[in-house]
Amino acid sequence: MIKQKQIGQILTKKGLITEKDVEFILSEKYEGELFLEALDRLNLYSGDKNLLWEAQATQLGVPFYREGKDFTWDKKLISEVDAEMAMAHKILPLWIKNNFLCIAMDRPQDIPAIEAIRMATGYHIRTTFVGPDQFAEGFKILYDLNIAKLDDVASEDNLSDKIAEASAEQRKTAQQDGEPVTFADQQGVLNLDEEPENSSKPVRLLHNILLRSVLSDSSDIHIEPGLKIAGIRFRIDGLLQEITQIDRNIYLPMITTIKVQAAMDISERRLPQDGRFSVISGGQSVDLRVSSLPTVHGEKIVIRLLRRGTGILRLDRLGLDSQTSEAMRQAVLSNNGMVLITGPTGSGKSTTLYALLREVDLARLNVITIEDPVEYEMSQVTQVNVRSDIGLTFAAILRTVLRQDPDVVMVGEIRDLETAEMATRAALTGHLVFSTLHTNSAPATIDRLLEMGIPSYLLGSSLQFVGAQRLVRRVCPHCREPYTPASNHLAMFPEKDLADISFVHGRGCDECGNTGYKGRLALLEYLIVDRQIARMISQNMLSDKIREQAEQAGKFVPITVPGLKAVKQGETTFEELRRVMGEE
């Protein structure tokens, strides 16, 4: 805000706008929008835009050069700074003198970009500021021939024109109910069952990557740039697998295609962004959540696949053993209290919560969920999306939800003390509350909530059930065969009698991608909070003592119990169990 006021003051002193204009722009500016962008959008200035960019340069403390007056574009410099480098760092070369390379930038304060150019060229770097129109024109003059050689990467003759047009289209994107219409909304859901016609090579490659990820049941796509190539990896059954590598000449326009489809700002390469769009494959709808992260070699893109069309699993279809499933059903039968499912990211916590909701009498109870985002749509359930950017946080929504006469409330995740305390008090005042938390074990959840600031008496009175979940890979049914585990894996459970177990593993085949595993099942350790355990929590006893008491009373089942049972039944292997459990 300080810098934005500074540029406003500079423009005011130059007589380009008035102080009232400055106040109006600051009050009407979108979150994250630059001052001059808001000025242009609000049509408060119709004079020479070079005067605006000169003021911007003054604020940034760098020179402002005009083409034709202070310099002319020199195509000889593209041998020093090629199109790929210029696109990746959004810079243009102006001149070279006395071992100094002068570059034009729209963000001359970007030290990592400047350092990257210095390392790549070997020159000392001087920076200057140019406006977006001048930058686009310079890019066209310097690199139009080079861009045409990139395997026809764009349907237009010049990629900078395409970038400018897409950026302009994004600026025109309307806002409905406080949320911008995405490119996916404008263009429709992408149909992966139809081969793209008359499309560029990057578009066809993206189509194939998305289709292959859906068919392989991937949960995530990682597009990772390197110095000369970019790697594509899929997360399948919890582990990343390298799929292919692509040339950077294809990687760059493919990233632009993804960002356009996900309604992300393609001109912004230095700050992380999030976006989303949808695809359809085989009649199945898949939501794609896109995240970009600037790295030293360009933007890394991670795409999370959310399959809405797969439906919500029942509790008995999660792969849980019957003892665990029954304990969870008993927790759901209560009309109040807090049920928590914990574990690391990607351990299936949300899927388990949805399965628990299916055990609730939805026809007779008022069930409301607060999620970020809503991953599965359920009939007879009121579902609310978190929108932190406009103040709709978990805590803010929960405060309103509790005035909606709910019987059951699902809070997607407890992230802060305010949410934790409100959820705990709601559980204490006659509501059944489901939620998740990031902890490694069921007893450790008690310590975590106390550390967050929940009073021990309040936690002891409201907590009812805690499950700590992990996902393990299933042995592939197509190539399973007997085997003998390594001795160090067997030594992991020295107190267990393993003599009667017939161990199996997957040999590796085309069906499982030669991994020996296909699909996953859930393992869950759980803690049932009875009166004795509640009293111990209220007295601030250590979780180790609580665990010992609960295990003696049959109220705590460690994850080794369902884990060994899954190994004994041939559903998974000792190696996989050890990988998931680590040193626990």
* Digit-coded pLDDT (tens) for 98-147: 888 999 887 777 787 787 788 778 888 888 887 777 777 888 888 763 33
DSSP 315: G
CA distance 222 to 220: 7
State residue 522 phi and psi, 5-degree precision. Answer: -95, 140
The confidence score (pLDDT) of residue 405 equals 94
Contact 334, 429 (CB under 8 A): no
Residues 102 and 245 in one domain: no
Residues 463 and 528 in one domain: yes
Mean pLDDT for all residues in the chain = 82
Whether this prediction's pTM lies above 0.85 is answered by: no
Handedness of CA 177, 180, 182, 185 (dihedral sign): positive
Residues 111 and 249 in one domain: no
Using CA atoms, how far residue 572 sits from 240, 347, 517, 584, in Å, is 19, 16, 8, 18
Residues 252 and 295 in one domain: yes
For range 61-75, the mean pLDDT: 82
Handedness of CA 47, 52, 53, 58 (dihedral sign): positive
Examine the pLDDT at 355 and tell me if it is beyond 80. yes
The confidence score (pLDDT) of residue 286 equals 86
CA distance 424 to 78: 62
Two tokens, residue 294: 């600037």
Domain boundary residue, one of 309, 332, 354: 309
Residues 377 and 434 in one domain: yes
The confidence score (pLDDT) of residue 208 equals 87
Answer whether residue 436 is part of any domain.
yes
Residues 52 and 112 in one domain: yes
Instruction: Return the SS3 of 381.
Output: coil
Examine the pLDDT at 241 and tell me if it is beyond 60. yes
- Any idea what the CATH number is for the domain that residue 211 is in? 3.30.450.90
- Any idea what the CATH number is for the domain that residue 102 is in? 3.30.300.160
Answer whether residue 539 is part of any domain.
yes
543's enclosing H/E stretch is: helix 543-552
Residues 66 and 164 in one domain: yes
Residues 271 and 364 in one domain: no
* Digit-coded pLDDT (tens) for 289-339: 999 999 988 899 999 998 764 556 678 778 788 888 899 999 888 889 999
Parallel, antiparallel or unpaired: strands 367-371 and 337-342: unpaired
Answer whether residue 375 is part of any domain.
yes
Answer whether residue 259 is part of any domain.
yes
Examine the pLDDT at 172 and tell me if it is beyond 60. no
- Tokens 């008359």 found at: 198
- Any idea what the CATH number is for the domain that residue 355 is in? 3.40.50.300
State how many domains the chain has. Answer: 3
Domain boundary residue, one of 309, 330, 365: 309
The burial of 456, by beta-carbon neighbours within 10 Å (0-12 exposed, 13-18 middle, 19 or more buried), is given as middle
Parallel, antiparallel or unpaired: strands 229-236 and 480-482: unpaired
CA distance 109 to 105: 9
* Chain-centre distance for alpha carbon 21: 38
CA distance 508 to 506: 5
Domain boundary residue, one of 283, 309, 335: 309
CA distance 403 to 406: 8
List the domain range (segments joined by +) for residue 303.
182-309
Two tokens, residue 315: 């509790």
Contacts for 5 with CB less than 8 Å, ≥ 6 apart: 22, 26
Answer whether residue 276 is part of any domain.
yes
- Tokens 């600051």 found at: 26
Three-state SS string over 415-441 comes to CCHHHHHHHHHHHHCCCEEEEEECCCC
Two tokens, residue 372: 């970020």
Answer whether residue 497 is part of any domain.
no
* Digit-coded pLDDT (tens) for 6-16: 788 888 888 88
The confidence score (pLDDT) of residue 333 equals 87
